[in-house]
Amino acid sequence: MGKGGLRVNTPHVIHETIDGEVIVINLASGNYYSMRGAGLDVWEVVQSSPGADPTAIAATVARRFDAPSDVVEREVTAFLEELRREELVAPAEDGVGPLAADGEAAGEGAARAFEPPSLEKYTDLQDLVLLDPVHEVDATGWPHRKPDVAQA
């Protein structure tokens, strides 16, 4: 993966954190995903610090865990590459945003045991997601429909 910064691939990707798990839907592909373990931390850092590069993201996440930083950074870097392949993150157009402070969101409190980030991919609702009218929107996103060019 290059050294460029990353961001959540909006508007094609929507997400919600529920009970320590991140649920992500790629509206372009119709796939949905579940992130667990340190994946929650990785997603939180990417979301709160758009434009941060993979090295900085990995270092920030590593400080949250009671584990050798090189092990955490290696796992996080591989996880970021997997997110990029699935088009859940994309290159940031403009420079690096500030990284979230270590005590924010999922990283609150003392360092904790490291559970490698995991990404589970689900394709069983792909047809339903792709049928959703949210795909029929213009660049401003939902709920603004694309103009009907057939009637022009």
Work out the average pLDDT over 130-148.
56
Question: For residue 127, which phi and psi values (nearest 5 degrees)?
Answer: -60, -40
39 belongs to a structural domain: yes
Query: pLDDT band at residue 30, thresholds of 50, 70 and 90?
Result: confident
pLDDT at residue 89 greater than cutoff 80: yes
Which comes out higher in pLDDT, residue 140 or 116? 116
1 belongs to a structural domain: no
30 belongs to a structural domain: yes
Tell me how many domains the chain contains: 1
Range of the domain at 89: 6-146
151 belongs to a structural domain: no
Work out the average pLDDT over 30-39.
93
18 belongs to a structural domain: yes
Measuring CA to CA, which residue among 13, 53, 50, 10 is closest to residue 33?
Answer: 13
pLDDT at residue 18 greater than cutoff 60: yes
C-alpha dihedral sign at 64, 70, 73, 78: negative
71 belongs to a structural domain: yes
Measuring CA to CA, which residue among 134, 151, 152 is closest to residue 143?
Answer: 134
Angle at 114 between CA 9 and CA 15, to 5 degrees: 25
61 belongs to a structural domain: yes
117 belongs to a structural domain: yes
